Structure 1
Amino acid sequence: MVRFRTIDAALIGAMAMLFAACGEGAPEDALAAAGDDPAARAAAVLSLPSRPVEDHGDDALRKPANVLAYMDIKPGMKIFEVEGGAGYYTQLFSPLVGPKGEVVIHNPEPFDAFLGDIVTNRVASLDNVRVTKSNFDDLDAEDGSMDMVTWLLGPHDLYYTPGGAALGDDNGAFAEIMRILKPGGVFFVLDHAATPGSPKSAGNSVHRIDPALVLEMVTEAGFMLAGESDVLRNPDDNYDVNIFEPEVRRKTDRFLYKFKKPE
């Protein structure tokens, strides 16, 4: 299993300044200048002037340069974002896959209550992005059609019950991800860690999940663990606190796994 650690911040900053100079051209121009290097491509896409100003405010704590470099997204890829939320990563995936690629941002329909028109407004200018709404165990994609599936900060919501109803069956959700991925496709899982041994109900109470539970369910669905990044780990987190509390918000201990669908 491959481990991935933080990219040197000075290197990221230097590359970001370099590719910002390409920002007046098309996104593909800046990304072409970055070549095939995952870290350089991450720096280039983060420097694009098309990014909403409010997204930059989250960068220091979300560390997208490191997350994107770890994912190594190539032009032409088809990516399905399970629970893409407000589209922070959608905005970055879209230019990375380019005009020949596709990004599908998914959210459960009950999320409309707090997302409103945020996603619709964000993707209006992103021609390679499609929006879909469904429960986690009923994903809108053809069998074997996706190169990559991401589920970032969300698997704990398998046990979130807005209005008293679950948003899908947990085993069914990972089976769906397996179904829509191409053989050899990759699946990235990022979430807020709960105290080891925590029950599934932690997903509803403090919006966290035990990493061991994720590993168990994903491997039982047939995926192979292909790597782990420590870039968002924080051993000083207070695991008993809800992730939305100011003392831990955006500073939780977050695990990031890479899984692969067998060829």
Structure 2
Amino acid sequence: MRRLLLASCIALASLSGCASMGGASSSDIAAVLASPSRSADDRQRDARDKPAEVLALAKFKRGDTVADILAGGGYYSEILSGIVGPDGKVLLVNNPGYDAFGKKGYTERLANNRLPNVTHVVGPSDALGIGEGVLDGAVIVMSYHDLYWVDDKMGWPKVDAGRFLDQVVRALKPGGVLLVVDHSAKQGTGSAAAQDLHRIDEQFAIADFRRHGLQWEAAIPVLRNADDDRSKNVFDPAIRGKTDRFVHLYRKP
């Protein structure tokens, strides 16, 4: 076990040195993904989520403070932990619904202080407890659409999406970035597909974040799938893990 932890620390330290030169590249992030301390489930997920390419868009670097918002079990939190290094900080942020869903995952992930630069934060949707002006960056991965989903039986009441997003924007420092990944809905559907399909219209998302004071900066096609007709629920076995997903980067002026 000590050897595994030592190898992991060496990999993280190596990445931190590279990232300090202007942001982690996909090859830098691949060094974190190669850590022997990562779980088999996380490695399996890498193939479908392509975190090296996705996170490289944000150019997070050593020493940054980054929030993984609605993080669930913290898959991205652990990767971000390696990118920001021992001098950085990662907030694994959940509301009560996501916290219940991800409890087993984050409990194992954070056990025995194995990620000392990751802090678990839980709060109601409109007051997560992130703070103000503290973040160099944040990520919301496959959970933005849930701001427009309601299911009381599943313990997910209606969220005030505007208040939720405003607190995220306030938490960012000027110049801070927000990386958003989500399942694409058909153009023109706005937020309606979030309820039945767990998808959201890409153009609606751009307008939504702009309304809350962020500038759209970039997108990459790494998770696009032209064969997804976007009519199926994302949990449908025919498309699960292969949905058409957009990857956007926003910046706070």
Aligned to 1:31: 15
Amino acid at match of 2:14: A
**Structure 1 residue corresponding to 2:192, chosen from 201, 214, 219:** 201
SS of the residue corresponding to residue 176 of structure 2 reads strand
Closer, same or farther in 2 for the Cα pair 1:33/1:149, shift >3 Å?
closer
Q: In the TM superposition, what are the counterparts of 1:55-204 in structure 2 within 5 Å? A: 55-124=42-111, 125-163=114-152, 166-204=157-195
Q: Which sits farther off after the overlay, 160-169 or 79-88?
A: 160-169
The secondary structure found in structure 1 opposite 2:165 is helix
Q: Determine which of 217, 225, 230 is the counterpart of 2:216.
A: 225
Report deviation, 1:77.
Answer: 0.5
CA distance in 2, matches of 1:149, 1:103: 9
**Alignment: residue pair count:** 241
Aligned match of 1:251: 242
AA partner of residue 146 (structure 1): L
Higher relative CO (Cα under 8 Å, sequence separation at least 6) belongs to 1
Most deviating of 161-170 and 96-105: 161-170
Q: In 1, Cα distance between the equivalents of 2:49 and 2:84?
A: 21
CA distance in 2, matches of 1:243, 1:123: 28
2:201 matched to which residue of 1? 210
C-alpha change, 1:166 and 1:212, in structure 2 (3 Å) is farther
TM-score by length of 1: 0.85
Alignment check: 8 A CA contact 1:157 1:167 kept: no
Is residue 38–residue 72 contact of structure 1 (8 Å, CA) maintained in 2? yes
**Equivalent position amino acid for 1:108 in 2:** N
Unaligned runs of 5+ in 1: 1-21
Q: State, as a whole percentage, how many aligned pairs show the same letter.
A: 34
Distance 2:179 2:17 in 1: 26
Residues 194, 209 of structure 1: 8 Å contact kept: yes
When structure 1 is superposed on structure 2, of 30-39 and 193-202 the one drifting more is: 30-39
* Rounded Cα–Cα distance in structure 2 between residues aligned with 1:202 and 1:119: 29
